[in-house]
Amino acid sequence: MNENLNKVSQAFCISNAPLSRRLCKDLESMGPMGQLASLLFKAEKARIQAMCYRGTAPVSRQPYRDYSKDRMQEMLMEVICHLDAHAKDLEVSWGWQANEKPDSPPWILCIELPTGLVTFRMQSRRMGPEYDLGFADGYRNSDRITEFCAGVLDGRWIVGEEVEET
C-alpha cells in the first residue's frame, strides 16, 4: 500500500499534469469506485490549488483562483451525478447539510468514504438526500481522499466492499 499512497500523495502535492492524469486514468479503470476516487481527487486538488493561486490571467484578467474554483465545482457536479447513480451499489452514504457558519457557503456536501467523512462547502444545494449521519471531525479532506485513492488502487474497496488483506 505504501507505494500507492506515495504515488497519490505525490500527485496531490506537485503540479504535474501528466502524473495526475495517469493516476486518474488508473483509478478510472477500477470501475465505479475508482471513478468516484478520480473525481474526488480532481475536486480536492482544484480546491487546494484555489487556495494557493495568486495573480490574474493576462487575457481574461480573471483571477487564476477562479479557474480552480470553477474546476472544483465542475468536478463536484460530476461527483454528485456519480453518487446519485452508484451510491447504493458502492455503499457510500452521502447527502447535504445546511451550513450554519456565518460568512461561509450555505450548503455542505458530505460523503462518507471508507476512510471517513469528506465535506465540500457549496453555494447552492444540488440533487441528493439529506445527510444526518454526523458531521466532519476536523480531519483534512485531502488526507482521507489520498488514503481512499490509494486503497482503491490497492484493490481494498471493490464495489463498496472492503476486501480483507492477506
Tens-binned pLDDT, residue by residue, of the chain (166 aa) = 589 898 898 888 887 888 999 999 999 999 999 999 999 999 898 877 766 656 666 666 665 556 667 788 888 999 999 999 998 889 999 999 988 888 888 899 999 999 999 998 888 888 889 998 777 655 688 899 999 999 999 988 765 444 444 3
- Spatial neighbors of 28 by CB under 8 A, at least 6 apart, are 34, 35, 38
- Of 17, 8, 68, 15, the closest CA to residue 37 belongs to 8
pTM across the whole model: 0.84
